[in-house]
Amino acid sequence: MALKKALAIDVGGTKIYNTIVNEKGEIISEVEKHHTPDTFNEIKAVFKKIISKYENQVDVIAFATCGAVNNSNDGILGSTGNIAKEYPSMDFKSLSKKPVFVENDANAAAWAEHIIGSSKGMPYSIMLTLGTGVGGGIILDNKLYKGKNGAAGEMHFKLRNDKHRKCTCGSYDCFEAYASGTGLKKTAEEISGDTDITTYDVVGSKDRPLMKKILEQWQNDILEGVIGLANIFDPDVIVLSGSMAEFVDIEYLEKQANKEIVTTPFKVVKASAGNYSGMIGAALLALGVK
Amino acid sequence: MALKKALAIDVGGTKIYNTIVNEKGEIISEVEKHHTPDTFNEIKAVFKKIISKYENQVDVIAFATCGAVNNSNDGILGSTGNIAKEYPSMDFKSLSKKPVFVENDANAAAWAEHIIGSSKGMPYSIMLTLGTGVGGGIILDNKLYKGKNGAAGEMHFKLRNDKHRKCTCGSYDCFEAYASGTGLKKTAEEISGDTDITTYDVVGSKDRPLMKKILEQWQNDILEGVIGLANIFDPDVIVLSGSMAEFVDIEYLEKQANKEIVTTPFKVVKASAGNYSGMIGAALLALGVK
């Protein structure tokens, strides 16, 4: 019997990707890339074009999108940051004759890790995507955890209580404001006193004492968050993904966190499902692969 | 048909309570109180005495105990603080001919609120018990959340990243170290510079500017934790219980937290199931009341 297939579409603030993924989580066509247009109508036109080209080849359409997605997996809750402000009103179901399934990109990526990646076989996992911001995906008892309306898994818990650093969410001192790439730059500015310092300056000269100190502070902030999540969830594993994850000393993090938690031993691992894990995870969810 | 009944036993570091609870969550006999003895054998003897007196009147024995309880609800995971260090090795099932069920006291209390208290009818709730320490109970999709081994719900996530205040868990700056009664005393010491200041000095003179400032700082730390939990879980409600909860301005907390979260609106309420909610919740869980 032929494997079922999904047309997977990843929607970010700057890029839209699409490809076809089968129920084994394999990417079976070229990955296409588009710039995310500025307006709602232009974004919708990109979706329409992708879908009309591929919908006859697949069983379902699977979106991995920025923004929190509702529990019926057909729409977005509230605002989503750096994309057209009307985007959350998108009527995804109307875009195709085939079934359309929508999930948050970080949640989808966590599901890809759970099914084919580094948290495979582990019922309780939390994924932290360390990029420009921080994304989160929570899997409990082999199910994606979404909360009462679908917005759960936002890594906006506080690492300080003195309103020190503004977060993109409008509040202060969230984990995201420290553990992200943007957070690393801010930490570098604070420690070096140089407001022109870049993330690249830090990771490109890791052996210089100043840069080492900056990276250690940033990594310690990630450690603090990992400890808190392990104490709240008693998970099997915390998975680190995203472009910034490669600068984290995973072995140190796992060892130190396990020394400090009051719950039971857990693993810290790097994601292994690849750069397109959002599309893969959305496809697997849309195809009902558990 | 007669209602089913549980002999409920609450085990804390200083006191052991027992009573009989029916499947409606009603306490139907006198609550008896015992000092928690120092040694394992003396504690076991207290359990035996209570159980031999009442086991013929009930269907099950339900323990609400300090310490994390395993997922088979028959034993304790690891150490539990201020109780005989061998206590976690207690073989609860051997104590009675009737079925024996064990749950963590904070988890049990959260379940009582869920079934008969202030989170009734709300599928996603988190309870914070603010006492000498801080207990936590998490209910997701109408089920008690325990994590991979049963240790979940520990409110040891960090509120600072600079190793400022030692926590009872051995690590630094956990929510518990700020939001608890002990935390309030520490905050009072830091703000007043007076190491002899007591929690009572603060809550007994709330209108004095210094005490007001201390309480505001303490409450703000609770707010920071509540925001983090709401962003992680997207819950219906966060329930505050315990002796310190009466000093929190619940309305302010709910209003301010809802302004700062990135998830969807949620309630903050006070617990209403009473002082014996641990025994009630353990009984309801043991009797299978959902």
CA distance A96 to A102: 13
Structure confidence at residue B107 as a pLDDT band (50, 70, 90): very high
At B277, the amino acid letter reads S
CB neighbourhood size of B38 (10 A): 10
**Do the Cβ atoms of B156 and A124 come within 8 Å?**
no
**Interval A248-259: pLDDT, tens:** 999 999 999 999
Q: Is the pLDDT of residue A203 over 80?
A: yes
Q: Which of A77, A152, A171 sits opposite B260 (nearest CB)?
A: A171
Amino acid B79: pLDDT: 73
Residues of chain A contacting residue B260, judged by C-beta atoms under 8 Å apart: 169-171
At B233, the amino acid letter reads F
Structure confidence at residue A65 as a pLDDT band (50, 70, 90): very high
Q: Tell how strand A5-11 and strand A60-65 pair up.
A: parallel
The answer as to whether B63 is a domain residue is: yes
| Average pLDDT for A17-23 | 98
| Average pLDDT for A278-285 | 98
Which tokens belong to A201? 């300056």
Chain A with chain B: Cβ pairs closer than 8 A = 148
CB neighbourhood size of A26 (10 A): 13
Which tokens belong to B266? 């949620």
Nearest of B263, B237, B145 to residue A70 by alpha carbon: B263
A24 touching B, CB under 8 A?
no
Distance from CA of A172 to the nearest CA of B (A): 9
Give the bridge partners for A268, in sequence order: A238
Higher pLDDT: B114 or A1? It is B114
The answer as to whether A118 is a domain residue is: no
Structure confidence at residue B19 as a pLDDT band (50, 70, 90): very high
Q: Is the pLDDT of residue A80 over 80?
A: no
Amino acid A79: pLDDT: 73
Amino acid A82: pLDDT: 83
**pTM confidence score:** 0.97
Are residues A258 and A281 both part of a single domain?
no
Q: For an interface test with B, give the residue of A161, A178, A191, A259 to mutate (most B CBs within 10 A).
A: A161
The answer as to whether B116 is a domain residue is: no
Q: Which residue of B has its CA nearest to A147?
A: B234
The answer as to whether B115 is a domain residue is: no
B17 is in which domain, residue-wise?
5-110+275-286
Cβ atoms of A279 and A26 within 8 Å: the answer is no
CA distance A265 to A237: 9
Are residues A80 and A178 both part of a single domain?
no
Q: Which residue of B has its CA nearest to A262?
A: B169
Are residues B155 and B57 both part of a single domain?
no
Cβ atoms of A9 and A18 within 8 Å: the answer is yes
Are residues B262 and B282 both part of a single domain?
no
SS (H, E, C) A216-264: HHHHHHHHHHHHHHHHHHCCCEEEEECCCHHHCCHHHHHHHHHHHCCCC
Structural domain count, chain B: 2
Q: Which residue of A has its CA nearest to B70?
A: A264
Q: For B109, phi and psi rounded to 5 degrees? A: -65, -40
Distance from CA of B15 to the nearest CA of A (A): 23
B165 touching A, CB under 8 A?
no
* Average of per-residue pLDDT values in chain B: 96
Contacting residues for B110 by C-beta, under 8 A, at least 6 apart: B119, B125, B126, B127, B136, B137, B138, B139, B144, B153, B239, B281
Are residues B129 and B38 both part of a single domain?
no
Which tokens belong to B139? 């209910």
CA distance B127 to B224: 15
**Interface predicted TM-score (ipTM):** 0.96
- For position A129, which CATH number holds? 3.30.420.40
Contacting residues for B266 by C-beta, under 8 A, at least 6 apart: A148, B230, B234, B235, B236, B237, B238, B254, B257, B258
B67 touching A, CB under 8 A?
no
Q: Which residue of B has its CA nearest to A172?
A: B260
Structure confidence at residue A267 as a pLDDT band (50, 70, 90): very high
Residues of chain A contacting residue B154, judged by C-beta atoms under 8 Å apart: 231-232, 234, 262-263
Q: Which of B147, B231, B232 sits opposite A235 (nearest CB)?
A: B147
**Do the Cβ atoms of A264 and B148 come within 8 Å?**
yes
